[in-house]
Amino acid sequence: MLSLFQFHYPVAMTTSDRIGILGLGAYTPERIMTNEEWTEWVDTSDEWITTRSGIKRRRIAGEDETTATMAVEAANRALKDCGLQPTAIDEIIVATDTPEVYFPDTASYVQHLLGAREVPAYDLAGSGCAGFLQALDIARSRVGAEGRTILVIGSEMLTRIMNWRDRSTCVLFGDAAGAVVVGSGEDTIEILAAVTGTDGSRAGILTLETGGTRAPFSVEAAEQGLHRNIVMKGPEVFKEAVGRMAKVSRQVLEQTGLTIEDVDLVVPHQANMRILSAVAKALHIPPEKVFANIEDFGNTGSASVPLGLTQARDEGRISAGDLVLLTSFGAGFHWAAVLLRF
């Protein structure tokens, strides 16, 4: 007699299987916007922006580009990097705070545009710049439980949602996408450990409130530009970001019995150069061990870490056997760290 219930048993993994990253890919739009161009929009200067953020340039998406199209470009490059076709993917996770539409989720568009099978696809939204590492941690657990091959993407088009007249925030952001293929096998970039956390009591220090159920979108809100009003309480964000990134980095190392001295390279979220320097100081890491590309790309949100990791690998900053620490923070207030062995 057949049971009314069907059970799906996890795929058994052999002792030689390692869960990790099979392929890396990133995409940045062609248009480069310099600090000098911002003087046409707001009262600022190259010196003012550089001194406060370390940013010189950022990428701006073209009119024919969207969050989903950028995500697909990065995904295709990650798939090519490991020699897989889109049909090999069993699940898709997209980390973004700048969705294609209000609903359905951006992952639905990515699944279709990519030519993937009818697999589970969903967004991890609202986590700010910590979203990609949160998604990577979820993918790791899914691979371990189900033996799946999972595509994890961070894609942000922040220049489409920000207020181009708000000097305190508009000069910080850029558009980009980064992706990794997560699976198991002997030849992976092994994910040794991951730690994530949240303190919702600090949600108000970094937020875009208008447009949700608390403050619905309206004509009046639009006339005041509230739907583009990114609230960023700089000093509080700085303190939380530095403290949380340093602490979670120590925690992820403790899980493996390793120390910061064992780390060959740190790839942090690129929020601004002051935060990167403060985190390095808090962890007692020399500057040369901290990867930074903020000068050329600005803050690209959830795309920041995969973009940096791909660039560091492609530029030869990472060698076989290297221990690489990824760390980030984001609105929520969320934070995360992942430890990789190449």
DSSP string, 252-279: HHHTTT--GGG-SEEEE--S-HHHHHHH
The total number of residues shown for the chain amounts to: 342
pLDDT for 145: 95
pLDDT for 6: 36
Cα gap 280→242, rounded to integer Å: 9
Q: What is the pLDDT of residues 89-132, one digit of tens each?
A: 999 999 999 999 999 999 999 999 999 999 999 999 988 899 99
Cα gap 132→124, rounded to integer Å: 8
Please give the CATH topology (third level) of the domain spanning 18-187: Peroxisomal Thiolase; Chain A, domain 1 (3.40.47)
Catalytic residue among 35, 82, 129, 170: 129
Q: What is the pLDDT of residues 146-175, one digit of tens each?
A: 999 999 999 999 999 999 999 999 999 999
pLDDT for 131: 97
8 is catalytic: no
- Residue 301: closest CA among 170, 108, 157, 93: 157
- pLDDT of 133 above 80: yes
Share of the chain above pLDDT 90, in %: 89
Q: What is the pLDDT of residues 294-336, one digit of tens each?
A: 999 999 999 999 999 999 999 999 999 999 999 999 999 999 9
pLDDT for 10: 44
- Residue 309: closest CA among 157, 184, 191, 207: 191
Residue type present at position 68: A
Mean pLDDT of 47-73: 98
Q: What burial class does residue 76 get, using C-beta atoms within 10 Å of its C-beta: 0-12 exposed, 13-18 middle, 19+ buried?
A: middle
- pLDDT of 5 above 70: no
- pLDDT of 8 above 50: no
Q: Which CATH architecture has domain 192-341?
A: 3-Layer(aba) Sandwich (3.40)
- pLDDT of 3 above 50: no
Q: What is the pLDDT of residues 252-298, one digit of tens each?
A: 999 999 999 999 999 999 999 999 999 999 999 999 999 999 999 99
pLDDT for 16: 57
pLDDT for 17: 81
Cβ atoms within 10 Å of 196's Cβ, excluding its own: 21
CA angle, residues 177, 105, 188, in degrees to nearest 5: 45
* DSSP sequence for 165-217: T-HHHHTTB-EEEEEEEEEEESSSEEEEEEEEEE-GGGGGGEE--TTSSSS--
- pLDDT of 2 above 50: no
Confidence of residue 15 (pLDDT cuts 50, 70, 90): very low
Angle between helix axes 273-283 and 234-254 (nearest 10 degrees) is: 40
Cβ-proximal residues to 213 (8 Å cutoff; 6+ apart), any chain? none
Catalytic residue among 35, 272, 293, 299: 299
Mean pLDDT of 233-246: 97
Cα gap 244→266, rounded to integer Å: 15
Q: Please, what is the average pLDDT of the chain?
A: 94
269 is catalytic: yes
Cα gap 18→76, rounded to integer Å: 23
Strands 150-157 and 91-96: parallel
Mean pLDDT of 60-77: 98
Share of the chain above pLDDT 70, in %: 95
Whether the Cβ atoms of residue 100 and residue 67 lie closer than 8 Å to each other:
yes
Q: What is the pLDDT of residues 169-211, one digit of tens each?
A: 999 999 999 999 999 999 899 999 999 999 999 999 999 999 8
Catalytic residue among 82, 170, 269, 293: 269
CATH 3.40.47.10 segments of the chain: 18-187, 192-341
Q: What is the DSSP letter of 98?
A: S
